[in-house]
């Protein structure tokens, strides 16, 4: 028995709506955004190690002397930068665990976020070579502040567009992510301020950020209510 034209039109309309909905869901799928971000972070963390090179010995120099004066600063800066970059990736992971869909604005903001992150190897190379130079220390700190500011912008963007988030994300969780970035900006700014008088203290502050982060996140996870999203922060 043949279907009536009206019934066939109804089926076609339903099929078109399903295809349009499927296309919309694929467009908003955050997996490709995360794949690009993960790839960029992986490349950045790999490039950091390239600044650790075998020292060339001048006549009369020993390997111990060359290691302490040439290689050691690069190793210290490498460890600091590697761990900090890992923290940026962890923070990005925690943030996007709350996101169920992306839109044009979020995609481009995420790309802009990766712009200062991609400069970390260059800033680390500068700081490793001139580890006691206040200008190099400030350039490094300024870059870290830019990264934290872009993270803050991302937090603001998703917190003001609830349709992009998974269900039941309380404002407390969003405020926690934003407050973390504000605290980092303050710490980096202090490191830049003391760069002239105490360059080693500045490096110590940069190195201490991961320790402060782990202490803070541990306290946060323990104080957060049972079943809250903060307990899953990495």
Helix (H) or strand (E) holding 112: helix 104-118
| Measured distance CA(167)–CA(97) in Å, rounded | 12
Predicted local distance difference test score (pLDDT) of residue 13? 56
Q: What pLDDT shows up at residue 234?
A: 77
* Tokens of residue 9, six digits: 């039109």
Query: How many CB atoms within 10 Å of residue 45?
Result: 18
Confidence band, pLDDT 50/70/90 cuts, at residue 8: low
Q: What residue segments make up the domains of the chain, in order of their start?
A: 30-232
Q: What is the mean pLDDT of residues 81-91?
A: 94
DSSP state of 98: T
Single pTM value for the model: 0.83
Residue 24 has a pLDDT of 46
Pick the closest to residue 141 from 179, 180, 76, 193 (CA basis): 193
Q: What is the pLDDT of residues 149-168, one digit of tens each?
A: 999 999 999 989 888 888 77
CA dist list (Å): 72 to 42, 54, 69, 128, 131: 24, 11, 6, 9, 10
- 21, pLDDT greater than 60: no
Is pLDDT of 170 > 80? yes
Render pLDDT for 24-69 as a digit per residue (tens, 0 to 9).
455 678 888 999 999 999 999 999 998 777 667 667 666 666 666 6
- Average pLDDT, rounded, for the chain: 84
CA dihedral (31, 35, 36, 41) in degrees, to 10, reads 130
195-207 average pLDDT score: 94
* Residues of the chain above pLDDT 70, percent: 82
Q: How far is CA 54 from CA 21, 22, 71, in A?
A: 57, 54, 8
């Amino acid at each position: 028995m043949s279907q009536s034209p009206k019934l066939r039109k109804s089926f076609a309309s339903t099929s078109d709506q399903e295809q349009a909905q499927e296309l919309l869901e694929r467009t908003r799928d955050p997996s490709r955004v995360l794949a690009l971000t993960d790839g960029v972070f992986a490349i950045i963390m790999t490039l950091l190690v390239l600044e650790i090179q075998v020292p060339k010995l001048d006549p009369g120099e020993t390997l111990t002397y060359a290691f302490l004066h040439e290689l050691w600063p690069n190793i210290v800066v490498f460890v600091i930068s590697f761990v900090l970059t890992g923290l940026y990736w962890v923070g990005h992971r925690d943030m996007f665990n709350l996101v169920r869909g992306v839109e044009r604005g979020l995609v481009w903001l995420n790309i802009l976020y990766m712009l200062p992150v991609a400069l970390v190897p260059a800033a680390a190379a500068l700081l490793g070579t001139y580890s006691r130079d206040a200008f190099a220390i400030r350039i490094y700190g300024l870059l870290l502040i830019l990264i934290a500011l872009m993270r803050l912008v991302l937090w603001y963007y998703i917190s003001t567009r609830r349709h992009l988030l998974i269900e039941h994300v309380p404002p407390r969780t969003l405020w926690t992510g934003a407050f973390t970035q504000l605290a980092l900006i303050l710490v980096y700014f202090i490191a830049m301020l003391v760069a002239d008088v105490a360059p080693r203290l500045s490096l110590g502050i940069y190195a201490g950020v991961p320790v402060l982060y782990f202490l803070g996140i541990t306290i946060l996870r323990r104080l957060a209510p049972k079943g809250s999203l903060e307990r899953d922060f990495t």
